[in-house]
Each structure stands twice: as C-alpha cells, then as structure tokens.
Amino acid sequence: MTRLSYAFALTAVTGILAGGLFVPTAKGQDSSGTKTESAATTAGPGVAVTTRGSVSQTVGKLKKMIAHNGMMVMGQLNQGRVLSMTGIQVKSQTLFVGNPQIGKQLFSADPGVGLVVPIRINVYENAYGQTVVQYVPPSRDLNQFHDAQITMIGNMLDQKLKGITSMLGQ
Amino acid sequence: MWRFVEEILLSGLILLCAAVAPNIFPAAQAGYAPMSTLAAWALIPSIVVMAITVAIAVWRGHRRLVNRVWVGVAAGMLATAGLEAVRITSFRLFHGMPGDLPKLLGVLLLNRFMLGPSAWSNVLGYLYHFWNGACFGIIFTLIFGRIRFYWGMLYGEVIGTGFLLSPAVTALGVGFFASKMHAMQITVWLAHLVYGGILGWLCQSWTHERGWLLSRRTNKPRPRTDGEAKSED
C-alpha cells in the first residue's frame, strides 16, 4: 500500500471521529425552533431576562450557551420537582455554574468566596406564564471581599452572564 | 467475496461502537446531555454491541479482524498509560492542565459534580479514559492494519488536536483550543505524541497482516524479525 493510501485512511479516521470531537456548540439559536423574546431588567433581586420558550426548553438552551462561553454546569436543582413533594406546582430549575480556572483563582484569593460561587441561575415560570431567567450579578457579592483580583473576576463574570443571557434573546 | 463483505460489515459496526466513547465527553461538555445519561444510553450499549460483534467475528473465523481488535484494545490501553504518565507529570509538577481529567470524567459519569470525586468515581473515570484509549486503538488497527509506527504518532497528534478543538476544552474555561493556557496545548500534544508512538510501535509489532480496512486479505504471513530469524538459526 502506498503512503498516499494511508493518508487517505487517516482522513477517514478523522471523519469517524468528527461526530462528536467537533460537536458544534449553540450560538443563540433555539434548537426546538421556538422563537425567544427577551427583556433584561435589574428590578428585584437580580438581573431577569424573559424568554418565550418553556422552562425546560430554556434550561436546555442555557446549558449550551454556558458551555459555549467557557463555563460548566456543575449542578442542577429541579426545584419544581422537589417542591411537588409538598403538593405545590411550580416550574423552577436552578443551575449552578462555574469554571475550574476561575474557581481556582477565586478560592486561591479567598476561600470565603464559596458563599458566592458557583453562580446560581434560576429559570422559572412566573404568574403570567412567562419563562424568566434570573441571576444575581456575581460582582455585587464578590465586591464585598475588597480584593482587587476577586473584584476583577466578579466584573468579568457579570459580563459573561450578560453575554449568555443576551444570547437567549437572539 | 461474501466473507470479505461480512468482514467489512463487522468492522464497520465495531468502528461505530468504538466512536461512541470518545464522543460522549465533548457532547456532554457542549451541553447536549449529562454525561451520566450518555453513558447509560450510548456508552454501555456500544460496549455490549461491540462485544457481541467481536464474538460473532471469532465464531465466523475472521482472524484478521479479531487480531486487529485485540491488538487495538491492548495497544490502546498500554499507550494510554504512556499518555497518563505525561499528563500526570505535567498536571502535578508544571500545572500544565486545568484539572485532573480522569477525576472530572468520573464525577460527570456518576453525575456527582456537586459532591466531588469519590474512590468509585475515580475508578470509573480512569476506566473510561483507558477505554477511550482502547477505542482509538481499535479504530487505528481496523482502518490501517499493520503500518510503520510513525503513522501512529501522526494519528495521536490528530486525536490531540481534535480534543483541543472540541467543546470539552472550551467548557473547561481555558478558551477555544486552550488559547488561554498554552501549557495545556503543549501537554496535550506531547501526551498524544507518546500515546501515538506507543500505539504505532505495538501495532507494528503485534498486528499480523498489512492492508487497510477495505483491502482484501493478502494471506501473506508477517515477515520474521531479525530476532526471530536469529533464534531459529
């Protein structure tokens, strides 16, 4: 067999692996085809963005955007399902979002940051049937540590979250 | 002719199964589904289907295919040990990785990120990593057959570069292609060069026949090495 054949075969290997090694990440599109509409506000306890998809659709979309923005979903709490044990019916899911590199820097600066990170993003259905994505800007709490590095990371996280939630409206 | 077609079909099925393990981590990190779900619905079935397919290949007497699968598994796992040696050294001594990857894989597989690693999750994480190495080994031997070891090094670098390009790396917070962590790029390329070198060398030594996936059997025995010739003399 010629070397040319092996080069061709190597290309075939790349094709086999292409299924997932190059899995595209979502860039704001709604995989379900649902149109989304957003309006960011800073009223209430944090920043809130309203979308038109359901809670589960929005959570799915949010997870892809978090991954695309270099963050990880470290945990997910289906508050609605937990609360169903008490007889109440709500649609609410909370994502705990972090990043190993940022976490390493923050906890090296002050282990007390565990009070603030991982960041909580809450997705719920409000009284009008709208799906709301809400979070407290991390800088608001991280600034309380009076540490220049922590403050800088807090501001950077604000920008990341703003980017992620604004993509929900695209 | 039919036996050749049968071998190709069995090889294709094994290749499909082998492609599952390396792809569930990037898919999970891209946010498509939790890795624990992908493991239950894709990884475990792929291992079962592969085991059944190999059993059929043994039963039907496809010796070339069976040899390549076993060589791929064994060489892939041994090559992963070489890769691990580079990765662990870089991670522990030079902070060349953002985290301990097999431990991360373990907590993702058991869906216990919030609780952190346990002994069981670490075992599963390493098992998954070594199975990944075995799958890449199977893909290499099934497609290329017995070739010179340096093709293995090139293959290793293709895998390493593919990993760096994947969403799995972006989600670790080191930027696309680990652009914010050059030490990780070097570690990944070096570790996969070692992986490919060991894989290529072992496959060159252990695989019985030349010829890539779609080439017909040559029925030509493996030429004796110098050592074997001397021992017979």
Q: What is the domain range of residue B88? A: 2-219
CB B29 within 8 A of CB A67: yes
Element (H, E) at A2: none
Give the separation between CA B140 and CA B78, rounded to whole angstroms.
14
Per CB-CB distance under 8 Å, the chain A contacts of B147 are 6
Domain count of chain B?
1
pLDDT at residue A131, rounded to an integer = 94
Where do the H-state alpha helices sit in chain B? 2-29, 35-38, 44-59, 63-94, 101-109, 119-144, 149-165, 167-169, 182-206, 226-232
CB-CB under 8 Å, B215 with A6: no
**In this structure, what are the phi and psi dihedrals at residue B116, rounded to the nearest 5 degrees?**
85, 175
CB-CB under 8 Å, A20 with B26: yes
The verdict on residue B232 lying in a domain is no
Per CB-CB distance under 8 Å, the chain A contacts of B151 are 6, 10
Could you count the other beta carbons within 10 Å of the beta carbon of residue B55? 11
Element (H, E) at A125: strand A119-125
**Residue matched to tokens 């779609």:** B214
**Residue in B with minimal Cα distance to A14:** B158
Per-residue pLDDT of B119-172, as tens digits, reads 999 999 999 999 999 999 999 999 999 999 999 999 999 999 999 999 999 888
Beta strand pairing status for A47-51 and A131-135? antiparallel
pLDDT at residue B116, rounded to an integer = 83
Collect all residues from A whose CB is shorter than 8 A from any CB in B: 1, 5-6, 9-10, 12-14, 16-17, 19-26, 60, 63-68, 70-75, 96, 99-102, 104
Peptide bond into A118 cis (omega under 30): yes
**Quick one: how far is CA A30 from the chain centroid?**
15
CB B200 within 8 A of CB B150: yes
The verdict on residue B229 lying in a domain is no
CA dihedral A140, A145, A150, A156 (to 10 degrees): 0
pLDDT at residue A170, rounded to an integer = 57
**Interface predicted TM-score of the whole assembly (ipTM), two decimals:** 0.71
Per CB-CB distance under 8 Å, the chain B contacts of A96 are 114
pLDDT at residue A45, rounded to an integer = 76
The proportion of chain B whose per-residue pLDDT surpasses 70, expressed as a percent, equals 93
Give the separation between CA A74 and CA B28, rounded to whole angstroms.
12
Low-confidence ranges of chain B (pLDDT < 70): 217-233
CB-CB under 8 Å, A10 with B151: yes
CB-CB under 8 Å, A100 with B99: yes
CB-CB under 8 Å, A13 with B172: no
Per-residue pLDDT of A3-28, as tens digits, reads 555 555 555 455 445 444 444 433 33
Interchain CB contacts (distance < 8 Å): A and B: 120
Domains of chain A: 27-168 (3.30.310.70)
